[in-house]
Amino acid sequence: MQGTAAGAKGPNVKASEIRSSEAELIDRARGRDEAALREIMQANNRRLYRLARAILRSDSEAEDVVQETYLRAFTHLDGFRGESGLSTWLSRIAINEALGRSRSARPHVELGSVSEAALEAQIIKFPVSPAGDPERTMAQREIQRVVERAIDELPDVFRMVFVARVMEGMNIEETADLLGVKPETVKTRLHRARTMLRENVEKEIGPVMMDAFPFAGWRCERLTEAVLKRLGVGG
């Protein structure tokens, strides 16, 4: 349920119709219409959570930030002027709230203060586990944990760009507007984030890859029983 509720109407809907639909939704939310409030939250929950967690690196704190974001937004909807989309407005509130919490623990956290040379890299892609393969699924989950830890290890400014561009699928202009940096900076930081992420994953993936292509448990038992059956041995 990601993306703004208005954006869910598809690419053929005119921008004016999207704005009109969003404006109507906001008007209903101002009147505390439960359905409208639910629709807004369901459309933005994942994005706000991921952006907050990218800054705080804590599941529970990120959830707190999302709740606080909605409380602030819904009690100040009269201050929303529509200069940007509702999703962008909510995202900025979430980022500011998360940064405020982060600065209290780590002073001088700034998203617009780092410049890095562009470095090309590709993110390692892992195949999807086939259904009904519990051992491979367990390995996949461990790989996911490795990737999550590697993302957490990225410096703040790179992690934010990576989450916005790659995990949330925001374009360069949207990301630049959201983070208050130039589009060129977004490109540079994304390249650097990908390089660092690849290095972090490769550093941790060795022990995990020792368990790749598992051949134990149910797989071993299935093959053993199949061979015994073909030999006519056992029940």
3-class SS letters over the chain: CCCCCHHHHCCCCCHHHHHHHHHHHHHHHHCCCHHHHHHHHHHHHHHHHHHHHHHHCCHHHHHHHHHHHHHHHHHCHHHCCCCCCHHHHHHHHHHHHHHHHHHHHCCCCCCCCCCCCCCCCCCCCCCCCCCCCHHHHHHHHHHHHHHHHHHHCCCHHHHHHHHHHHHCCCCHHHHHHHHCCCHHHHHHHHHHHHHHHHHHHHHHHHHHHCCCCCCCHHHHHHHHHHHHHHHCCCC
Give yes or no for residue 66 having a pLDDT over 90: yes
Write the pLDDT tens digit of every residue in 190-229.
999 999 988 888 877 765 555 555 555 665 677 667 777 8
What the chain holds in terms of domains, given with CATH numbers, is: 6-105 (1.10.1740.10), 134-231 (1.10.10.10)
Average pLDDT of the chain?
A: 76
Which pLDDT value is given to residue 209? 57
Chain length of the chain: 235
pLDDT band at residue 92, thresholds of 50, 70 and 90?
Answer: very high
**175 pLDDT more than 90:** yes
The answer to whether 163 and 50 have CB atoms below 8 angstroms apart is yes
pLDDT digits (tens, 9 = 90+) for 13-49: 555 455 558 889 999 999 888 999 999 999 999 999 9
Instruction: Inform me whether the pLDDT recorded for 171 exceeds 80.
Output: yes
Q: What is the pLDDT of residue 68?
A: 92
CB neighbour list of residue 175: distance below 8 Å, 6 or more residues apart = 161, 164, 165, 186
Q: What is the pLDDT of residue 14?
A: 54
pLDDT at 139: 66
Note the pLDDT of residue 218.
Answer: 65
- pTM for the model: 0.62
Do the beta carbons of residue 179 and residue 161 sit within 8 Å?
A: yes
